[in-house]
Amino acid sequence: MNAPHYPHAWLDSTHATGSVAGVRVLDLSRVVAGPLCSQMLADHGADVIKVESRLGDETRHLGPPFIEPGQAAYFSALNRGKRSLELDLSKDDDRAVIEALLMQADVLIENFVPGTMEKWGLGYNEYLSKKFPQLIYCGISGFGATGPLGGMPGYDAVLQAMCGLMSINGDAQSGPMRTGIPIVDIVTGYNAFAGITMALLARARIGHGQRVDATLFDTALSLLIPHAVNWMASGKTPGLWGNGHPNIPTYNRFDVGDGQMFLGILNDAQFVKFCKKIGRIDLATDERFQTNVSRIEHRDILHKQIDEALKPFTRAELCASLMEIGIPAGPVHNVAEALGQAHTAARDMLVTRSDYRGLGIPIKLSATPGQAGRKPPKLGEHGPDILKRDSSS
């Protein structure tokens, strides 16, 4: 196909700074993992063009709540700092636009079912790597292209089920449960982000781009820490732990007078300090609880003893006093409470502008800090500017 020439497509000065300033990203992905990856690149200075179908990214419609008609809040969590271009990649002319944009692109991100780009004549091995040797191509998929499940579709919760995550989340009453966030999608997005930045670094050394392969399946299995190695070492299949930890009985949720808290005691010294703080030094001297191994053996009895001992305390006061003596502890907050913490504001983890509200940037760099870019785009909002042809072409 003959690619049209769009010399001004990438002239965007929104991000003049950041660790990946000047990197040009063509994002063909949708839903969570890919858009999160490209948003992180945008946060750190990349110029990201988001290519959407006529229907738009599915998360635009996953409401209520809606920020505005046709744009759910869900979409705004994953797509700030980007420009939107509306194309139908099943059409030759629109695929030619992609080729024109790739002439100046550094990174392409896609999360189509494996084989789709090849069907359109845009496969990495067969075509793009040869025509655009500097390109870093990131393919995100459920299972990858090879193996018995290669090419199959996959969503977060399905992979949580298939890869054992649900089998260790929940308790006897609830049964296996997925986590309350799309954790596999999110970490896959981070893995893709890491892979792209590593490939950018490698390109400066080896002189060409490469393919980054990020799958939900691989990510989900990689999250089985420490349960996978526990099974490898013991042969015992991990079960439902609820809020508990298989290796640390004092790493759990406990009841206090006005709610619940999570206690993080990892060693014997912390346990002794904790027992003194709550006025139950007898627990520390009880032979059933003197070591981590013995505490594991008697974990149910110990849990009941701690719950009873904490009834006179309030969660905020107790957690603060425990933290002061080196024992990690925190109140079990709801989302509103979590976002309302003074430390949330101190860490710049909320973006509150007149045109946009969202979460802050978790990766903080001292010399090249990131920043939350423009508000998430309307579908096709920047098409006219991106597709402005050179009058001489």
Q: What is the mean pLDDT of residues 134-161?
A: 96
pLDDT at 16 (0 to 100): 62
390 catalytic? Reply is no
Label residue 7 by pLDDT band (50, 70, 90). low
Q: 36: closest CA among 20, 22, 57, 56? A: 57
Label residue 388 by pLDDT band (50, 70, 90). confident
122 vs 389: CA distance, rounded Å? 23
pLDDT at 391 (0 to 100): 41
Q: What is the mean pLDDT of residues 307-314?
A: 96
pLDDT at 389 (0 to 100): 58
Give the torsion sign (CA, 184, 187, 193, 198). Answer: negative
Do 313 and 178 lie in a common domain? Answer: no
**What is the separation of C-alpha 329 from the centre of its chain, rounded to a whole number of angstroms?**
24
CB atoms within 10 A of CB 237: 11
Label residue 392 by pLDDT band (50, 70, 90). very low
pLDDT at 14 (0 to 100): 55
- Any idea which of 15-24, 54-63, 167-176, 319-328 has the lowest mean pLDDT? 15-24
CB 279 within 8 A of CB 266: no
Do 205 and 97 lie in a common domain? Answer: yes
Do 303 and 379 lie in a common domain? Answer: no
Do 38 and 132 lie in a common domain? Answer: yes
Domain final residue, candidates 315, 332, 349: 332
**Residue 269 scores a pLDDT above 50:** yes
Q: 32: closest CA among 66, 74, 70? A: 74
Render pLDDT for 201-232 as a digit per residue (tens, 0 to 9): 999 999 999 999 999 999 999 999 999 999 99
Do 68 and 188 lie in a common domain? Answer: yes
77 vs 59: CA distance, rounded Å? 10
Label residue 198 by pLDDT band (50, 70, 90). very high
Do 142 and 266 lie in a common domain? Answer: no
**Residue 364 scores a pLDDT above 50:** yes
Do 190 and 302 lie in a common domain? Answer: no
Do 152 and 258 lie in a common domain? Answer: no
Label residue 369 by pLDDT band (50, 70, 90). very high
**Residue 355 scores a pLDDT above 60:** yes
**Residue 312 scores a pLDDT above 90:** yes
Do 191 and 277 lie in a common domain? Answer: no
**What is the separation of C-alpha 235 from the centre of its chain, rounded to a whole number of angstroms?**
31
**Residue 372 scores a pLDDT above 70:** yes
Do 286 and 377 lie in a common domain? Answer: no
**What CATH code is carried by the domain that includes residue 37?**
3.40.50.10540
Residue 391 lies in a domain: no
Do 267 and 322 lie in a common domain? Answer: yes
Question: Which is more confidently placed, 104 or 5?
Answer: 104
Residue 357 lies in a domain: no
Residue 66 lies in a domain: yes
Residue 14 lies in a domain: no
226 preceded by a cis bond (ω within 30 of 0): yes
What residue has token string 């006061």? 317
**What CATH code is carried by the domain that includes residue 307?**
3.30.1540.10
pLDDT at 393 (0 to 100): 39
Query: Which residue of the set 43, 185, 255, 355 is catalytic?
Result: 185
Residue 236 lies in a domain: no
Residue 230 lies in a domain: no
Length of the chain, please? Answer: 393
Do 205 and 326 lie in a common domain? Answer: no
**Dihedral angle, C-alpha 40, 144, 232, 172, nearest 10 °:** 70
Mean pLDDT for the chain overall: 94
- The predicted model scores a pTM of 0.93
Residue 297 lies in a domain: yes
What pairing do the DSSP bridges indicate for beta strands 82-86 and 66-68?
Answer: unpaired
pLDDT at 13 (0 to 100): 55
Domain final residue, candidates 314, 332, 350: 332
Q: SS3 for the chain, per residue? A: CCCCCCCCCCCCCCCCCCCCCCCEEEECCCCCHHHHHHHHHHHCCCEEEEEECCCCCHHHHCCCCEEECCEEHHHHCCCCCEEEEECCCCCHHHHHHHHHHHCCCCEEEECCCCCHHHHCCCCHHHHHHHHCCCCEEEEEECCCCCCCCCCCCCCHHHHHHHCCCHHHCCCCCCCCCCCCCCHHHHHHHHHHHHHHHHHHHHHHHHCCCCEEEEEHHHHHHHCCCCHHHHHHHHCCCCCCCCCCCCCCCCEEEEEECCEEEEEECCCHHHHHHHHHHCCCHHHHHCHHHCCHHHHHHCHHHHHHHHHHHCCCCCHHHHHHHHHHCCCCEEECCCHHHHHCCHHHHHCCCEEECCCCEEECCCCCCCCCCCCCCCCCCCCCCCHHHHCCCCCCC
Range of the domain at 281: 251-332
Total number of domains in the chain: 2
Render pLDDT for 12-56 as a digit per residue (tens, 0 to 9): 655 468 999 999 999 999 999 999 999 999 999 999 999 999 999
Q: 112: closest CA among 148, 157, 162, 152? A: 152
- The amino acid that residue 198 corresponds to is M
Label residue 271 by pLDDT band (50, 70, 90). very high
Residue 351 lies in a domain: no
